[in-house]
Structure 1
Amino acid sequence: MWGEKPASGVFPPSVWYLTEPAFSNGGQTSLAHNTRRRWEHYGQLAQPNSPKGQALAALLFGPGGAYSADQFTVRANMLNELQSAVRLLNQELQGLLLALNEERL
């Protein structure tokens, strides 16, 4: 998610819809990009290029490690925001499915 890579052998292709700009509201930037910008804007990763920010990103997106209480809260908040993006995508796909079914009838 952090690097916005276009594919992975670990996750199914459906996960990578988050990296397609066409699935976002504006169609200009991907849901993954928008989520990352929210994480940076709202402080979870406010300074991603600083040594502290890089260490936090390595902890969150790397192999893991020991978390402080504050780092655990940051992780939980980030996962909640990601869950919201995935649920929004799911709603959009459900709407598309309903529209396709109505056209078929």
Structure 2
Amino acid sequence: MANATGTLSFLHKLVHNQSDTSLEGKVERLHIKNELQNRLLLVTTELNSFSAELDCEGERADQLASYLDERANNRNDVLTVASIAVGAITTIATVIISSDATQNAVGLVGGLLSGGLGGSSLIKGRKVPFNHPRNVLKDIWEVPQQSTIYTPFIWYMLNEKSFSNEHKQGIIRSIRDRWLTLQFDGETEGRKQNLLFGKGGKYKADDLHDRADLLNQLQSSIRSLNQDLQSFVLSVNRLP
């Protein structure tokens, strides 16, 4: 963690300075601690800011998905009621009409209308434009050597094996493997991949729910890193 936060040199100075009990040594130690705290405050702010960005992006996708879900549910309710009404009217009409030929015609037309309305309720909802020029998911999926979205500190922590649970691969690789298996059935390319990891496009409600889910998973990992960082900060604060 000291290497990740850029505080290793400060810690070395503190250890080296511990034996100096003179006034100058104490002043120097206070100066080093102040620089150390400033550095830790900076990286803590970086993590908190990025976590807040993920939260906003996830909320944005969730809100639009909920809107589309509500529109689709209202539409389905109307179509279902209309289908039932047409079916009832058709049944009554075939009973009232005495002509066999007319009965058959009315029954056929009514059945087609009722079936058409019922089938329309099964059609997936509309698409809406949803753009994200700064796509925080992109670099997680593509795993470049250097990120243009993540700060060097966050990118280092996501790639460093020592910050993962099993220490076999970086957090970013674990996240990508999980997405590849659970979200995309092992497919690295496709319409949804291009949509979620590109600059945006026409989203359906399901796509928006998927994007929000990926953002929430990433945010959980960032929060876990923040917990590790805060534990390190507490340890540093206890130094003499």
Give the TM-score, by structure 2 length.
0.39
Answer with 68-77 or 2-11: which moved more. 2-11
Q: Residue in 1 aligned with 2:193?
A: 57
Amino acid at match of 1:98: L
Q: 1:5 Cα deviation (Å)?
A: 1.6
| Counterpart check, 1:88 vs 2:224 | yes
Task: Point out the structure with max Rg over C-alpha.
Answer: 2
Q: Residue in 2 aligned with 1:48?
A: 187
Q: 1:19 Cα deviation (Å)?
A: 1.7
Consecutive unaligned residues of structure 1, counting only runs of 5 or more, are none
Q: Residue in 2 aligned with 1:98?
A: 234
Distance (Å, rounded) in 1 between the aligned partners of 2:172 and 2:224: 12
For residues 41-88 of structure 1, give each alpha carbon's deviation from its aligned partner in whole angstroms, at most 9, with x where no partner exists.
Answer: 3x3222323xxx522111111121111111111111111100000000
| Counterpart check, 1:76 vs 2:212 | yes
Structure with the bigger RCO (C-alpha within 8 Å, sep 6+) is 2
Amino acid at match of 1:56: K
Q: Identity of aligned pairs, percent? A: 37
Q: 1:89 Cα deviation (Å)?
A: 0.6
Distance (Å, rounded) in 1 between the aligned partners of 2:161 and 2:184: 22
Alignment partner for residue 170 of structure 2, among 9, 30, 34?
Answer: 30
Secondary structure (helix, strand or coil) at the match of 1:65 reads strand
Distance (Å, rounded) in 2 between the aligned partners of 1:6 and 1:95: 28
* 8 Å CA contact retained: 1:6, 1:19: no
Amino acid at match of 2:229: L
Give the TM-score, by structure 1 length.
0.82
Q: 1:6 Cα deviation (Å)?
A: 2.7
For residues 6-65 of structure 1, give each alpha carbon's deviation from its aligned partner in whole angstroms, at most 9, with x where no partner exists.
Answer: 312343212202122121122211111111122233x3222323xxx5221111111211
Answer with 80-89 or 93-102: which moved more. 93-102
| Counterpart check, 1:15 vs 2:154 | yes
Q: When the two structures are aligned, how many residues end up with a matched partner?
A: 100
